[in-house]
């Protein structure tokens, strides 16, 4: 389950548009609910907000967080390199 302090850290890189990315990642990996359907956007939000627990969705959220964090790091390094800053 995602705890409050974890959610605060996740929010630094996951804005309101994270749900679609998580949804797509779950589809790519063919991770389905017990009914055999793809997880809904509302279920993804429930897991993120700590109302429900689902390890597959939590792992997908963490993967999207890591991807965005790495992308931001590369952006900053490129920007600093172009500007000649250390």
pLDDT in tens, 10-49: 998 998 789 999 999 999 999 999 999 999 999 999 999 9
pTM: 0.88
Contact between 36 and 71 under an 8 Å Cβ cutoff? The reply is no
How many structural domains are present in the chain?
Answer: 1
> What pLDDT shows up at residue 85?
83
Percent share of the chain, pLDDT over 90: 84
> What pLDDT shows up at residue 15?
82
Phi, psi of 32 (to 5 degrees): -115, 160
Range of the domain at 73: 4-83
> What pLDDT shows up at residue 17?
87
pLDDT in tens, 48-62: 999 999 999 999 999
């Amino acid at each position: 389950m995602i705890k409050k302090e974890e959610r605060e850290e996740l929010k630094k890189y996951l804005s309101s548009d994270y749900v679609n990315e998580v949804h797509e990642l779950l589809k790519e990996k063919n991770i389905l609910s017990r009914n055999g359907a793809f997880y809904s956007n509302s279920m993804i939000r429930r897991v993120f907000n700590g109302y429900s627990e689902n390890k597959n969705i939590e792992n997908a959220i963490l993967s999207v967080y890591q991807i965005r964090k790495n992308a931001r790091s590369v952006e900053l390094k490129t920007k600093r390199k172009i500007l000649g800053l250390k």
